[in-house]
Structure formats: C-alpha cells, structure tokens
Amino acid sequence: MTTTFDELVRDVLRGGEVVLPPGRVVLTETVYLRSGTILRGAGAGTVLEASGDWPCLTVIDSDDTAAESVVIRDMTLTRSNTAGTPAAAQADSQGVLVCGDHVTLQDVVLSEHYDSVAVAASPAAASGRVTLVSCLFKHSNVSADTSRYHVAARNATVVVVSGCDVVDAAQTSDFYALADGTVYVYEGGAAGASVAKVFTVTNPATASATAVHAAHNAELENNFPGPFTNPDVPRNITATFHATWDGGDVTVVGTDALGRAQTEVLSSNPGATEAGVKIFAPVTSATKDTEGVAPAGASLGTGPVLGVAADITDTSGMLMVGATPEAVTIDATNDSFAPTSAPNGARDYTVLLNVAP
C-alpha cells in the first residue's frame, strides 16, 4: 500500500488502481496521473499535501495529450505554505490540474488552493468531460483574490458538479470560471451554500409595446380595464406613453417567476417608453395616477430582460445564445438577466447563475 511520496509517484506511473491508507503524504512536486488511473484514499483522513506552489495532482498523459478515464476519490488535497504567499505563486497551487477527458473527482476535500480544480488544455487538445461528485471546497488561509475559483473550467467541453459544498472563510469565491463554449451542468449542493444552476429560456418573443395591455387613455378611469395578457415568459414590463399623455405614473401589479407579489411604478414620460426592472410572470392589474384631459393613451408591453424562478445570489454567470457564448448582465436583486442579443422569438438562452439552494 502506498505510504510515501516516492511510492506514490512509482505506483501511479504503473497505472491502474492505487490505494492510499489514512495518513499524510507530503508532495515535494506535483504527481502526474495518466490514462486509466484510479487514485483512491481511505476518506478525508488520507491527506496529500503540496509543500510548494504546484498542483497536488496533474492529470495528463506522458506525451502531453489529454489523459482519459482518471478517477480521484476519497481523500483530502491541501497545501502547507499558504501564509504570505504572493498571488503570482498561488496561481500555480491548484488541487488538481486537469488536462483530460472523463475525469472524475468524488468525495474529495480540496483545501487552501488558488484554484481547487483547474481544467486546462493540454498542448495537443482541450479537456473533455470533467465530473465532480460530493466534493468539499475549503479556503480559510489563502490571500483574497477575485480571480480565485473553486472550479476554474477554462478549457473543457462539459463540467458536471453534483452535490458539492463550499466552506470559505477568507472570501466569497466564485464556484466557476467562465469559459467560452463550455457546457456546465450543476446539480446543487448543501443547504446554506450558493449553488450554480443552469436555466433555459426557449424562444421568448420579441419585446412589444402592447403585449400586456392595449393603450388606455388618460381621460378615462384610473384602472386599466383589461384584458391583460401575461408575458410569454417571466420578464420586465414597459409602459409606452403618447406624446400628450397627462395621466401620471402607471403602477403595475402581479407576481414574479416564484409567485411572489410584485408591484412597480413606471414613471410618466410622454412620448417615450419607460422600462421596468422588476420581473412579472402574470400581470393582474394596473392603474394610472390621475384622470387627465387628453385623449392620449399608455400601453403596457414587455421588455428584453428575462426572469428565472430562483433567488440569484450574485452577478456572476455565463450565457449561451444557442451554441454561442455571449455577454450578459445579471440582476441579483430582481432575479433576472439581460442578454446582449434581445429576444426575437427564435433565440434560445441558456444561462448559468449562482442561486440559493
């Protein structure tokens, strides 16, 4: 059974399954895992500790191509020289550096790393599918740095994260790093931790000035009489005012994507359109402030901002429009996102968001 660094290096070079007992192995350099290797510990008490700023484990084949079918499980990966380490050196201190396909980490504790898991491209090819199951990310003694991630998947095709938890006393780290063309599938974590989740909005309609309610004239009663047409998907509401509108502000009432009561005042702006920021799924009523004298109307429509049925916890995220990555503006206050390419009835949006579990 492997118990020392030299034995670990020797055994993993042979490939196949390598079993580690409880105890600590100090890594004086990174340990390379080749295709077909299964590195199995005896639980969190099996500790691999990097003594310098290098990855504990590096998944890559000897010819610098992507390693395939590698499993790392039932152990703790950590590093000993966290205090006072310059950020430039920390950047090389990953728990696992992956250049591979069908790589799985299961029941692994990753502690005190700059990037806990960094998925990179080998000189020959990008990484493929990487799966993390029931892993725990712990950071309490690493210098704060906004570029540090639990999973930095910058060069991967598919990253699956299932049931992983975060304990981070030093700072709030993003769970992922953005990567153009990468598909993320997040399947949740423990209660109390933010988790990243994928939402899909399929073919939302083009924004329309009259999608919710036709123009209601200022000189008529203050209540918009209906009928109200609910937005095709949860999204923001607009009020479009005639140039001579004198009916005052318009108040819209309804509920959001989670069924919570929602009220928003759209300020009077004759001759222009006012866009709200809150998300409405149904709109149940609307009123104007005053009965004016002008036979000029205000209509209610839909805007380009889309809502999700979740509590968004921050403004980090990634958007795919069809198969193309695109910049996105995320509103954690109103649980919504605004794509750069506005809805037109033919675009599908897949957005990765950090949300409350």
**Confidence at residue 277, expressed as pLDDT on a 0 to 100 scale:** 98
Other residues' Cβ atoms within 10 Å of the Cβ of residue 275? 16
Task: Tell whether 355 is covered by a domain.
Answer: no
Task: Tell whether 351 is covered by a domain.
Answer: no
**Confidence at residue 288, expressed as pLDDT on a 0 to 100 scale:** 97
**Confidence at residue 91, expressed as pLDDT on a 0 to 100 scale:** 55
Low-confidence ranges of the chain (pLDDT < 50): 84-89, 141-147, 169-174, 177-183, 186-192
- In this structure, the answer to whether residues 37 and 143 fall within a common structural domain is yes
Task: Tell whether 320 is covered by a domain.
Answer: yes
Are the CB atoms for 60 and 21 separated by under 8 Å? no
**Confidence at residue 18, expressed as pLDDT on a 0 to 100 scale:** 92
Q: How far apart are CA 49 and CA 250, in angstroms?
A: 62
- In this structure, the answer to whether residues 171 and 275 fall within a common structural domain is no
Task: Tell whether 260 is covered by a domain.
Answer: yes
Q: How far apart are CA 159 and CA 49, in angstroms?
A: 25
- In this structure, the answer to whether residues 172 and 85 fall within a common structural domain is yes
The total number of structural domains in the chain stands at: 2
- In this structure, the answer to whether residues 11 and 156 fall within a common structural domain is yes
Is this prediction's pTM over 0.75? Answer: no
- In this structure, the answer to whether residues 154 and 103 fall within a common structural domain is yes
- In this structure, the answer to whether residues 324 and 211 fall within a common structural domain is yes
Closest CA to 344 of 182, 206, 190, 186: 206
Dihedral through CA 346, CA 338, CA 186, CA 259, nearest 10? Answer: -90
- In this structure, the answer to whether residues 312 and 335 fall within a common structural domain is yes
Q: Which domain holds residue 287?
A: 200-345
**Confidence at residue 193, expressed as pLDDT on a 0 to 100 scale:** 52
Q: Which two tokens stand for residue 289?
A: 């402030």
What is the number of helices (H) and of strands (E) in the chain?
2, 30
**Confidence at residue 239, expressed as pLDDT on a 0 to 100 scale:** 98
- In this structure, the answer to whether residues 220 and 341 fall within a common structural domain is yes
- In this structure, the answer to whether residues 274 and 252 fall within a common structural domain is yes
- In this structure, the answer to whether residues 207 and 121 fall within a common structural domain is no
